[in-house]
Structure 1
Amino acid sequence: MRWKKTLQIVDVHCEGEVGKVITVGVVGIPGSTMLEKMNYINEVDDSLRRLVILEPRGCLQMSVNLLLPPTRPEAHASFIVLQADKAHPMSGSNAICVVTALLELGMVEMQEPETTVVLDTPAGLVTARAACSDGRCTRVSLDMVPAFVEQLDFIFDTSKFGKIRADIAFGGVYYALVDVEQVGLRIAPENARRTRRTRRRTEGRHQQQDQDSASAFP
């Protein structure tokens, strides 16, 4: 039997949100910066993302973080968030998963009671401060890249709901913040499936209208 690809993937979660980490088996993603590497995955070759995220190995609700050597000297490591739709530049919960894996696997030396880990991401440098005890990472706080509001009260058309108003903001990735009352919903457990389906419909329409203003809906 001839092996074509070997990956080492560590199971990690952040308060139940799955953020697996690829620690071994990926080399040579083209690009001199993490943004260029992420764009390569999204625009040229996303076979790795599909391999680890799509069924039977993955599912819609999980993320897999691609761990790579940093492109900036001040960083300990770099990562790209792989999700069901594409590769993303940053995620708070996934950064926590990456830091936990780096420290508990000994890839970055753990210092008790606190270890500082600098991450190189497509969105910029992120500094993590991890509380550590008895070889475990017990808590992580993040100093993120600067957040800002891109546009308030941005209006876009949808085929099902008509005009919808959203606030566009950046916090590592772009988000469109929408009051769900505009689409006849309220935030409640019984509306989880309807909310997810509604988000998909509005997301696709909005991205066609304004690719530069927002790239994702939370």
Structure 2
Amino acid sequence: MVSINDLELKADRLSVIDMHTAGEPVRIYDATLLGLPGETILEKRRAMGERFDHLRRAMMLEPRGHADMYGAILVPPSDPAYDAAVLFTHVSGYSTMCGHATVALGRLLYDQARLQGRSQTRFTLECPCGPVAIEVTPDADPAAAPSVRFESVESFALSLDDSLELEGFGHVQFDVGYGGAFYAILPSSRLGLDFHQTPLEQLVDAAGKLVAELRATRSFRHPQEPDLSFLYGAILTDGDHVTPGQLTHNLCWFGEAQIDRSPTGSGVSARLAVAHARGQIAPGDSIAFAGASGQAFDGAVARPTERGVIAAVSGRAYYMARSELILETQDPFAQGFMLPARFGDFLSA
């Protein structure tokens, strides 16, 4: 068989590492040598979208990615005190915080340090929402993935017991929490849906309708940074209370109808902030959160803040592949594509 390396292809090549955390994928691309302009991480985020978005599209969209793909693009930190800096990506753009990707990057940074002969277990990751502290704890079994714990940026409840009229569902009450991104949070029962028995497709559809209505009718303002002032998604839960020591489930709808297989680290942080605001949990209380894959993250309030809490989230990430994506210059899908809503969309393209 001919090796693809023997072929003289006119193509760009992107070396990537594929990992997953609780079943949610993260494709990691090192863009530190890309020459991305910007002094701050948010300036780099804007520059990535304006000048190099074709790389995101190639990595996230079909045929190299898929509708629920997720990615992490490493860029130079804006401060030498940070160990690494990252832009979080998905099929429809860029997010401001991602817990499952942070867990994966924590393991990657830890393993890179080991390969360099260093025993570093604490890292600071610069994210678009701010710096995030990571601590890696090796497992007693050397063959097992280490546990990665991160303390996120300040999480808080933006509003409690908000409500709106949602077509097909009537009067719906919800909370809005911030955990590096804003989420509408509510038990699925408030939409008339049994969390454990309703077909997943119906839960997804209901969450999407709620997000669409909120994005069209409400504003979500971050107290410091306009670039963080948008509703990222919705989290449907299996109940309106969390109880320390007991497992709780949630379904996270984010971006443009992506469903997180993991419990969603930023979503767990937002849920912890809301639960703390309601007096349901205290600092140090531990709660297990499971997402669509059934694999759980451990979440806790590390400490309260003036506006909310610093949430701590723990999980484990696993390697899946190391590969080189090839973008041939004549490939019509070198920058990826998305399935159309209808075949007629091809006629107007």
Fold-level match, TM-score > 0.5?
yes
1:152 equivalent in alignment to 2:152: no
SS where residue 12 of structure 2 aligns? coil
Indicate the RMSD between aligned Cα atoms, in angstroms. Answer: 2.7
The one of the two structures with greater contact order (alpha-carbon pairs below 8 A, sep at least 6) is 2
Per the alignment, do residues 56 and 189 of structure 1 end up closer, same or farther by CA in structure 2, a change over 3 Å counting?
A: farther
Question: Which residue matches 2:217?
Answer: 209
Per the alignment, do residues 39 and 154 of structure 1 end up closer, same or farther by CA in structure 2, a change over 3 Å counting?
A: farther
Per the alignment, do residues 35 and 24 of structure 1 end up closer, same or farther by CA in structure 2, a change over 3 Å counting?
A: closer
Identity value in percent: 23
Is the contact made by 2:32 and 2:75 (CA closer than 8 Å) also made in structure 1?
no
Question: Which residue matches 1:140?
Answer: 148
* Pairs within 5 Å for 1:16-27: 16-23=23-30, 27=34
Question: Which residue matches 1:58?
Answer: 65
Partners of 1:184 and 1:26 in 2: CA distance: 51
Amino acid at match of 2:184: A
SS where residue 92 of structure 2 aligns? coil
* Pairs within 5 Å for 1:110-125: 111-112=118-119, 115-125=121-131
Report the CA distance between 1:98 and its aligned residue: 1.2
Is the contact made by 1:103 and 1:109 (CA closer than 8 Å) also made in structure 2?
no
* Pairs within 5 Å for 1:17-56: 17-23=24-30, 27-41=34-48, 46-56=53-63
TM-score, reference length from structure 2: 0.56
Partners of 2:31 and 2:147 in 1: CA distance: 25
Question: Which residue matches 1:182?
Answer: 190
SS where residue 194 of structure 1 aligns? helix
SS where residue 195 of structure 2 aligns? coil
Gaps of 5+ in 2: 1-7, 222-230, 235-251, 253-349
* Pairs within 5 Å for 1:36-115: 36-41=43-48, 46-106=53-113, 109=116, 111-112=118-119, 115=121
- Count of residues in Structure 1 that have an aligned counterpart in Structure 2: 217
SS where residue 215 of structure 1 aligns? strand
TM-score, reference length from structure 1: 0.85
Report the CA distance between 1:111 and its aligned residue: 4.4
Gaps of 5+ in 1: none
Per the alignment, do residues 49 and 162 of structure 1 end up closer, same or farther by CA in structure 2, a change over 3 Å counting?
A: farther
Per the alignment, do residues 31 and 99 of structure 1 end up closer, same or farther by CA in structure 2, a change over 3 Å counting?
A: same
